[in-house]
Structure 1
Amino acid sequence: MYLTQGLHRAVQQTPDAIATIYRDRHRTFTEIAGRVARLAGALRDHGVRDGDRVAMLSLNSDRYHEYLLAVPWANGVINPVNVRWSPAEIAYSLRDSGSRTLLVDDTFADTVPAVRAECPELTTVIHAGDGGTPEGMLPYEDLVTGSEPIEDARRGGNELAGLFYTGGTTGHPKGVMLSHSNLMVSAFGLAASGYLSAGEVRLLHAAPMFHLADLAFWNAATARGGTHVIVPAFKPVEVMEAIAEHEVTETLLVPVMIQILIDHPDIAEHDLSSLRAVMYGASPIPQAVLERAMKALPNASFTQAYGMTELSPVATLLSPDDHKVTELLRAAGRAAPHSEVRIVDTNDEEVPHGTVGEIVVRGGHVMQGYWNRPEETAAALRGGWMHTGDGGYLDDAGYLYVVDRIKDMIVTGGENVYSAEVENALATHPAVAACAVIGVPDPDWGERVHAVVVRQPGHEVTAGELREHVKTLIAGYKAPRTAEFVDALPVSGTGKILKRELRKRYWTGADRQVQ
């Protein structure tokens, strides 16, 4: 199995069908295959050798789609770069991965001098934008039109397909090594679930294409010969216009995107009826937001995917039928067709159903390891299971409930509190637009439950009112004892709330981050 397999199949079966739609550019599968073969030839001409890492720093585009295919075609390894990183962080990932070639679009071309200053190993920069090519870079379109096409290396199987750096929420980012088989197993398992839209596929890329959640969807759609409709980044009006104009059938969104979309005042003015399937994941979604989304998009089925980069990334799926059962809306689903899931204690012994422990996963989608980090690889993959670092439990029917990152557990007065449960309760209050719950030092309780809240426009609420509201839904000791109100929560490039940023002001100077 290999990433370019779906392109070859589509060229054989539907050569004149539309493969990509980006702004006013519509390209067929035959056109894409030709461009990919020539771009791969250009990469080889400019020094890319077997197994070399090739990075890309760009917003979503049809050229990103071509990059994902051309690099393995040239027998290289993709290294998508997080667009939210600073130049120093970008340079670190390039040095760590040994990437000597970088593709960059107009948005990030200005960062290249700073990156090059910290990464002298970077020898080739290709400008994959629509504006003028900056000095010291190679023009993408000239390379595509002026290079000789080469045969697909058909790099696949257990060979390395990509290095995908974790978000860096703690310490330096780690390069997750995923093979072609890892990625294809996850994609085929996703397709085999039956939860994606049937018939002609038109997939909208609104989530960032550098992130593995979107790449998994990209991979599944490519394997099915689907059309990729691409917008540069998530903007609610642009997303709604793309769905209506191009009759998009499915999309992947992270929860914060879903909330912004369904709360947009102009949503009723756009025809979103073509949308048949919405997949979401990457972070928990408040139940109240999910219920509003299902009402706002009645023609679409909803599927939740739980996983992580190290799992290529899908581990469990909450099906569209599961979404019809209110009691299951807080579950993360059951093991996907390609995945095995269990819950273990600190001794890696499986625990009974209903008992909170660490979620561990096994299957052909589990990473090869962390790039140049053998000790961390051994720790994560001990016993043949990927140890996720997430806390959760399974019920008697095999549904997984994710209660928190284990390290985010709050211990207050000797009781364990999982912030996800508190956040779900807070989110049901009409004045709460978004929230995050953290533990902060407390002289009496060790740690106290603290809420950081973004209010809905035009609504007022006090910390005391929120506490009393939460106490009507969950145990009183879990309710936030204190709260602060902010205009926005800090988020990563993939929409995950950066709780470490919220904790800083409370834990700076402490010799440990728990009490």
Structure 2
Amino acid sequence: MYMTQGLHRSLQSDPQGIATIFKDRVRTYEEHVDRIARFAGALQGLGVQAGDRVGILSMNSDRYAEYLLAVPWAGAAVNPVNIRWSPAEVAYSMTDSGTRVLLIDDAFLPMAPLLLEKAPVLTTLIHCGDGPTPEGMLSYETLVAENEPVVDAYRSGDDLAGVYYTGGTTGFPKGVMLSHTNFVSSSLGTVATGQLLKAGSRLLHAAPMFHLADLAAWCGLTIMGGTHIMVPYFEPTSVFKAMEEHKPTDVLLVPTMIQILVDHPDSNNYDLSSMERMLYGGSVISEGVLNRTKARFPGLRLTQAYGQTEASPVITLLLPDDHEGDRMRSGGRAAPHCQVAILDLDGKEAATGEVGEICAKGAHVMQGYWNNPEATAEALRGGWLHTGDLGYMDADGFVFVVDRLKDMIVTGSENVYSAEVENALSKHPAVASSAVIGVPDEKYGERVHAVIVLAAGQNPTAEELQAHCREHIAGYKVPRSFEFPEALPMSGAGKILKRDLRDSYAAAQN
């Protein structure tokens, strides 16, 4: 298996088919492959060798799509950088992975001097934006124009394809080493369901392309052959316009993005009828948001993917026909390429309905963490990838994710799973979004604390919210305290940063 396989197939079978659309740039597969082969030649000319890491710090674009294939074409491995990171975090990932070449677009040019200062390993910056190329950097377009195309290196199998740094929601980022087999097997397994990314699909990239969830969708469509449509970043109006103008059939979003779209006041002003399938994941979606999505897109086929970077990333899939009843609260069943088990603390399989750690195995599981054998041994023990997520499996194999191990709240000796409380809160009309954390409590050890962003014009009391929760969950799970900020801290992938909420709460008490 190799990342560029689908590209060769599309060039052979549909060279004049549209490969990418970005702003006013539309490129065929013939043009797409030529540019990829030329940029690969440029990388080799810059001294990039087999297995080297090449980074990118950029918003979504057609050049990003070219980078994802040109780097393996040149024999190297991709290292997409989280666009929400500070210069220190970016520099750490460059230094840790030994990345010498970094592509950078206009949005991040002000960061360049700090990166060069903090990460001496960086020797070459390639400007991949649309503005003028700064002094001291190389122009992406000039490199493409002035280099001859080279033959695909055909790196494959267990060869390193990418180093993806975790989002850092539960600690300092770790570099996840993923092979060509890891990437392709996960994408093939997802496509094998027959519910996503059919041949000729038009995929809208509104989620950040640095994130592995979007990479999985990108890889699946590249395998099947279709059109990649990019918007620079998620912004409701630009997404609506892209849907109306370019007629995508598929999109991948995280739940926070879906909520923003379906609740946007202009949602009904655009023709979104081309949309056939929506893949969502990255975090748990509440029933309230899910029901509003189904109402706004009545013909849309919804699929939820549960997974993590270490699994390339798909572990389970909740397919369209399973979006009903209690199954809507689950993450679905094991994807075709994956084996799933719920294991207890002793590494034994838990009984049906019993909460334990969600574990996975298959050809999609990572090779390990870059330069971190201890963390690798901890995650890959007993022949399983230990996800760090708590969940249970029902008699039909549906996996219900209840919490991160580190997010579980123990109050008065009772375990409370934050996702369950957040789901109850989501059903209140005044709650736009929420995050539930455990905070210190003298009497109970920890208490359930809800951080809530209110819907416009709403101002419920704590007592009203508590009464609402008691209608859906047990009394000991009901939040005992509340905060009402204007927004929740988010990672670049759209995940709520509960660690930041806990730190903020602790700082406020001192």
Code of the aligned partner of 1:500: R
Give me the whole-angstrom Cα distance separating, in 1, the residues matched to 2:508 and 2:286: 33
Residue in structure 1 matched with residue 135 of structure 2 by the alignment = 135
Shift of 1:133: 0.3
**Letter of the aligned partner of 2:188 in structure 1?**
F
Q: Which residue of 2 aligns with 1:380?
A: 379
Larger deviation, residues 8-17 vs 191-200: 191-200
Supply the distance in 2 between the matched residues of 1:88 and 1:175 (Cα, whole angstroms). Answer: 16
What's the counterpart of residue 150 of structure 1?
150
Partner of 2:310: 310
In the alignment, which residue of structure 2 is the partner of 1:434?
433
Alpha-carbon distance between aligned partners in 2 of 1:142 and 1:199, rounded to the nearest angstrom: 33
Superposition pairs for residues 56-455 of structure 1, below 5 Å? Answer: 56-198=56-198, 200-323=200-323, 325-455=324-454
- Which residue identity lines up with residue 467 of structure 1 in the other structure? Q
State the secondary structure of the residue aligned to 1:122. Answer: coil
Contact 2:352–2:395, Cα closer than 8 Å, also in 1: yes
Kept after mapping to 2: 8 A contact 1:40/1:74: yes
The 3-state SS of whatever aligns with 2:68 is helix
CA distance in 2, matches of 1:330, 1:33: 42
Question: What is the distance in 2 between the residues matched to 1:508 and 1:460?
Answer: 26
The Cα offsets for residues 9-43 of structure 1, whole Å up to 9 and x where unpaired, read as 00100000110000000000000110001000000
SS in 2 for 1:441: strand
C-alpha displacement of 1:98:
0.2
- Please state whether the residue corresponding to 2:320 is helix, strand or coil: coil
* Structure 1 residue aligned with 2:472: 473
Q: Distance in 1 between matches of 2:132 and 2:411?
A: 57
User: Is structure 2 residue 33 aligned with structure 1 residue 10?
Assistant: no
Deviations 1:405-444 (A, max 9, x none): 0111111111110000000000100000000000111111
Instruction: Name the SS of the counterpart of 1:252 in structure 2.
Output: strand
- Counterpart amino acid of residue 436 in structure 2: V
Q: Which residue of 1 aligns with 2:492?
A: 493
CA contact (8 A) 1:56 1:102 kept: yes
Contact kept? 2:199, 2:225, Cα under 8 Å = no
Asked whether the equivalents of residues 450 and 481 of structure 2 are also in contact (C-alpha less than 8 Å), the reply is yes
Helix, strand or coil for the counterpart of 2:329? coil
Instruction: Output the CA distance in 2 between the equivalents of 1:483 and 1:171.
Output: 25
Separation (CA, whole Å) in 1 of partners of 2:467 and 2:439? 20
Cα deviation, residue 318, structure 1: 0.3
Deviation of 1:199 (Å): 5.0
Matched ranges for 1:18-33 at <5 A: 18-33=18-33
Q: CA deviation at 1:302?
A: 0.3
**Alignment-mate amino acid for residue 357 of structure 2:** E
Please give the alpha-carbon distance, in whole angstroms, between the structure 2 residues aligned to 1:171 and 1:435. Answer: 21
Kindly tell me: are residues 509 and 287 of structure 1, through their superposed partners in 2, closer, same or farther at Cα, counting changes over 3 Å? Answer: closer
What is the alpha-carbon distance in structure 2 between the residues aligned to residue 172 and residue 317 of structure 1? 28
Letter of the structure 2 residue corresponding to residue 495 of structure 1: G
Q: Which amino acid in 2 is paired with 1:227?
A: T
Q: What is the TM-score when the length of structure 2 is the normalising length?
A: 0.99
Pairs aligned (count): 509
Aligned amino acid, residue 200 of structure 1: G
1: CA distance between counterparts of 2:507 and 2:180? 42
3-state SS in 2 of match to 1:305: strand
Q: CA deviation at 1:171?
A: 3.3
Deviates more, 1:232-241 or 1:189-198: 189-198
Shift of 1:507: 3.9
Contact persistence 2:164–2:177 (CA under 8 A): yes
- Structure 1 residues 344-371: Cα deviation after superposition (integer angstroms, max 9, x where no partner): 1111111101000000000010000000
Contact 1:275 1:300 in 2 (8 A): yes
Gaps of 5+ in 2: none
Matched residues in 1 for 2:25 and 2:505: separation?
Answer: 50
For 1:370-401, what per-residue CA distance to the aligned partner results, in whole angstroms no more than 9, with x for missing partners? 00111111111001100000000000000000
Cα distance change on mapping 1:165 and 1:100 into 2, 3 Å: same
| Aligned-partner residue type, residue 388 of structure 1 | T
The one-letter code matched in structure 2 to 1:296 is R
**Aligned-pair CA distance for 1:509:** 11
Kept in 2, the 8 Å contact 1:463–1:484? The answer is no
Structure 1 letter corresponding to 2:479: P
Displacement of 1:172: 2.2
Query: Displacement of 1:456 after TM fit?
Result: 0.1
Provide the C-alpha distance between the structure 1 equivalents of 2:26 and 2:431, rounded to a whole number of angstroms. Answer: 41
Q: Verify the 8 A CA contact 1:197 1:276 in the aligned structure 2.
A: no
1:359–1:392: 8 Å Cα contact kept in structure 2? yes
In the TM superposition, residue 508 of structure 1 has moved relative to its aligned partner by 5.5
Distance (Å, rounded) in 1 between the aligned partners of 2:485 and 2:186:
38
Whole-angstrom distance in 2 between the partners of 1:461 and 1:354: 35
**Structure 1: how far apart are the matches of 2:297 and 2:205?**
18
What secondary structure is seen at the aligned counterpart in 2 of 1:329? helix
Q: 1:476 to 1:364 in 2, by over 3 A?
A: same
Contact 1:489–1:497, Cα closer than 8 Å, also in 2: yes
Alpha carbon RMSD of aligned pairs, Å?
Answer: 1.1
Question: What residue identity is the alignment partner of 1:31?
Answer: E
CA distance in 2, matches of 1:283, 1:189: 21
In structure 1, list runs of 5 or more residues that go unmatched: 511-515
Structure 1 position 240, deviation (Å): 1.0
Q: Percent identity?
A: 60
C-alpha deviation, 1:160, in angstroms = 0.4
The 1-side partners of 2:508 and 2:280 are apart by 37
In the aligned structure 2, how far is the partner of 1:170 from the partner of 1:196?
A: 31
Helix, strand or coil for the counterpart of 2:382?
Answer: helix
Distance 1:507 1:347, change over 3 A: farther
Q: Distance in 2 between matches of 1:438 and 1:378?
A: 29
Secondary structure in structure 2 of the residue aligned to 1:359: strand
With over 3 angstroms needed to count, the CA separation of the structure-2 counterparts of 1:91 and 1:197, relative to structure 1, is closer
Tell me how far apart the structure 1 counterparts of residues 82 and 201 of structure 2 sit (CA, whole Å): 27
TM-score, normalised to structure 1, is: 0.98
Distance in 2 (CA, whole Å) between partners of 1:11 and 1:113 is 39
Q: 1:380 to 1:199 in 2, by over 3 A?
A: closer
